[in-house]
Amino acid sequence: MTRDWWKHMVLILGTIIVLAPFYMMVSYSFKSPGEIDRGEGGFFGRQEMMIDPRCAALRQPDRADIEAARARFAGQDDASVQASLLAETEADCSMRPVLFNYSKAFTEAPLIRYLLNGVIVTVSIFLIQIVVALPAAYALSKLKFWGRDAVFGLVLFCLLIPVHAIALPLYIGLAKLGLTNTYAALVVPWTISVFGIFLMRQFFMTVPDDLIDAARMDGMSELAIVWRVMLPTAIPALLAFAIFSVVAHWNDYFWPRIVVTGNRDLFTPPLGLREFKGDGDGSFFGPMMATATVIVTPLIVAFLLAQRRFIEGITLSGMK
Amino acid sequence: MAVVDHSVAGIAKPKPDNRQARAGWGLVAPALTLMALILLVPIIVAAVLSFTNYSLGNPGFDWVGVQNYERLFTRSTYEKMFIATFTYVVTVVPISVGLGLGAALLVHSLGRIGDIYKTIYFLPVMATLLAMAIAWEFMLHPTIGMVNRTLEMACGTWFEALPFFANGCAEGFPLWLGDRDYAIWVVCFIGIWQGFGFNMVLFLAGLTSVHRELYHAAEMDGARSGWERFRLVTWPALGPTTVFVVTISCIRAFQVFDTIEAFWPQGGGPNKSAYVMMFAIFEKGIQQNLIGIGSAITMLFLLFVMFLTLIQRWLVERKVHY
């Protein structure tokens, strides 16, 4: 232990740099604009009551409000009625910075909708990938047919093509079909996972043939074998692939940025955050960092809960 | 991905009857169709359009020969694009691979306590890059950012002996993202910050497969120091992993986009110093609707990436194994 101290020093230095932006993101999501500007308040900020400037501006008492409130403050002159009304407004509009930031994150933009879109897109991508890739992987590993090697060769060739790189022609195709700004546009390019086919094929190679022969004896069709025999044996590999796929598409920014323009109803979480940044002024650092925290948290929490599986899934592409 | 097992193909029962053939083609048909439509046809489309002046919304187009490619190699904008892209790749790949390997060796040697570092270093890989880019942007804010505030704390101490601090304390620390001398390096730094944990995990997987006996054998043969053991045993054993890590880092580095777009939605950095290829495809092809030139960049991009992967496969097939 003692002779390892220098290793810990180096690794702790790395830890500080790695965690710094996370620390800042979460810390700013707790702080009031003033504290962010002045750079004070430690990690949690002082959480003093603050007044929401927009709320206060909206509810500035005018002539009519004073007339209406005259009954409540009988016997006072206009100035003192106005003062009492202002005090009420401020009381109504003041809240803790942490509440302010997170409530703004959810009310300034339809963040729930964005998160839901993120879930819809990632889940449909994954399900379609499986529906397409699993039968192909089974055929390529367990069925003998003329042309199989050619198909597998094609799969190996397609592994070379990063989908992001061919975004432009894909975009043109979708635009020609009138599909931009739809869920379909967000999902379609990812429906075919060549990597998924390759991975599942390698996995199916290890499944004993007897299992399949027995199923055939029972009179199962080949398609039924895929879903009722092969799928259950492939759960561990599928889980790893699921993590790989979900992480990639939850975090993806490039493709949604291209095919979704302006239609907020289709925004995925990163797009929503980007828009927030676009129209944010100085006082909105807090709510913006709250949005960022909300978007990053689900995957981080899932990762911390199931580290081994996540690392397996993400580095999957690195294993044979 | 590295090793393809052809030998297993012979195990399947040798009765290629019609029924199996029909089932086989039926099962691969959807995947095959999608592969053709989504991956192969677009490449052909891009290849064709790169020789035209097509724009979305125009009824037709003219053939312009190699004019688009000629522009790529003559205009200064694209020269900046190549410089930015290669600067990024050449910086990020070696450093993130090196740091990944270093971190893996340290973490591996610490045993179970090392796992906590592994978890922490992997966090940036999981986090949405766009969100983290925005967080970094705040960190690097010239006046209220954490980085410059921390640097300012060094003012008045012996740090001022260093030219960088002396200059910074007198005239203010760099603007980072707004400064064309720093912009691309900041982007590189974030690329490394995000990617080295991924490389570390791949190297760790490689390290666990190195046999203990090899170290004993090396020691018998007189490899006493840690460096000797690394040079003689660890490094050769990590050969295949290294090839893979370098390739995947290159491909990922070529595709850098999120940080650039988050920092500079218009124009790719001060004086286009961070105008990388993916951003160029996005700006030219999609925002400005110059499909011809965008397709030409796409073709070059594919060429680079495929070339890299082919080198990797060639290296692996030659067996970089010990």
Summarize pLDDT for B178-210 with one digit per residue, the tens: 888 888 999 999 999 999 999 999 898 888 877
- Would A105 be classed as within a structural domain? no
- Would A269 be classed as within a structural domain? yes
- Would A71 be classed as within a structural domain? yes
H helix or E strand, kind and range, residue A126: helix A111-142
Which of B85, B101, B134, B295 is best to mutate for the A interface (most A CBs within 10 A)? B134
Q: A277, B122: Cβ pair inside 8 Å?
A: no
- Would A307 be classed as within a structural domain? no
Within this chain, do residues A124 and A61 fall inside the same structural domain, yes or no? Answer: no
Domain C-terminal end among A48, A66, A97:
A97
Question: Closest to A162 (Cβ–Cβ): which among B241, B255, B294?
Answer: B255
Nearest to A245 by CA among A305, A301, A197: A197
pLDDT in tens, A121-172: 999 999 999 999 999 999 999 888 888 899 999 998 888 888 888 999 999 9
Q: B106, A197: Cβ pair inside 8 Å?
A: no
Q: Provide the pLDDT for residue B145.
A: 80
The chain-wide mean pLDDT, for chain B, equals: 85
What is the number of structural domains in chain A? Answer: 2
Within this chain, do residues A152 and A266 fall inside the same structural domain, yes or no? Answer: yes
Q: Is the pLDDT of residue B1 over 50?
A: no
CATH number at residue B122: 1.10.3720.10
Contacts of A260 in chain B (CB under 8 A): none
User: How many other β-carbons are positioned within 10 Å of the β-carbon of residue A74?
Assistant: 7
- Would A306 be classed as within a structural domain? no
Tokens of B314: 């060639």
- Would B118 be classed as within a structural domain? yes
A168 φ, ψ (degrees, to nearest 5): -65, -55
CATH number at residue A199: 1.10.3720.10
Q: Provide the pLDDT for residue B8.
A: 43
Question: Closest to A317 (Cβ–Cβ): which among B1, B120, B134?
Answer: B1
Q: A144, B132: Cβ pair inside 8 Å?
A: no
Within this chain, do residues A125 and A41 fall inside the same structural domain, yes or no? Answer: no
Q: Is the dihedral of CA B133, B135, B139, B145 positive or negative?
A: positive
- Would A58 be classed as within a structural domain? yes
Within this chain, do residues A22 and A167 fall inside the same structural domain, yes or no? Answer: no
Within this chain, do residues A68 and A138 fall inside the same structural domain, yes or no? Answer: no
Within this chain, do residues A69 and A164 fall inside the same structural domain, yes or no? Answer: no
Question: Closest to B42 (Cβ–Cβ): which among A135, A166, A251?
Answer: A166
Q: How far is A179 from chain B (nearest CA, A)?
A: 14
Rounded CA-CA distance B277/B264 in Å is: 14
- Would A39 be classed as within a structural domain? yes
- Would A242 be classed as within a structural domain? yes
Rounded to two decimals, the ipTM of the complex is 0.86
Q: Is the dihedral of CA B180, B185, B188, B193 positive or negative?
A: negative
Nearest to B297 by CA among B312, B286, B310: B286
**In which band, very low, low, confident or very high, does the pLDDT at A104 lie, cut at 50, 70 and 90?**
confident
- Would B27 be classed as within a structural domain? no
Q: Provide the pLDDT for residue A282.
A: 52
Within this chain, do residues A157 and A266 fall inside the same structural domain, yes or no? Answer: yes
Q: A36, B144: Cβ pair inside 8 Å?
A: yes
Domain encompassing residue A116: 111-279
Q: For residue B139, give the chain A residue with the closest CA.
A: A21
Within this chain, do residues A248 and A131 fall inside the same structural domain, yes or no? Answer: yes
Rounded CA-CA distance A297/B126 in Å is: 10
Tokens of A273: 């955050």
> Apex CA A154: angle with CA A152 and CA A157, to 5°?
115
Domain encompassing residue B310: 72-317
CA distances from B264 to A22, B255, B270, B283 (A): 22, 16, 8, 12
Within this chain, do residues A122 and A80 fall inside the same structural domain, yes or no? Answer: no
Within this chain, do residues A116 and A199 fall inside the same structural domain, yes or no? Answer: yes
Which of B38, B120, B243 is best to mutate for the A interface (most A CBs within 10 A)? B38
Contacts of B201 in chain A (CB under 8 A): 311, 314-315
Rounded CA-CA distance A58/A10 in Å is: 53
What is the number of structural domains in chain B? Answer: 1
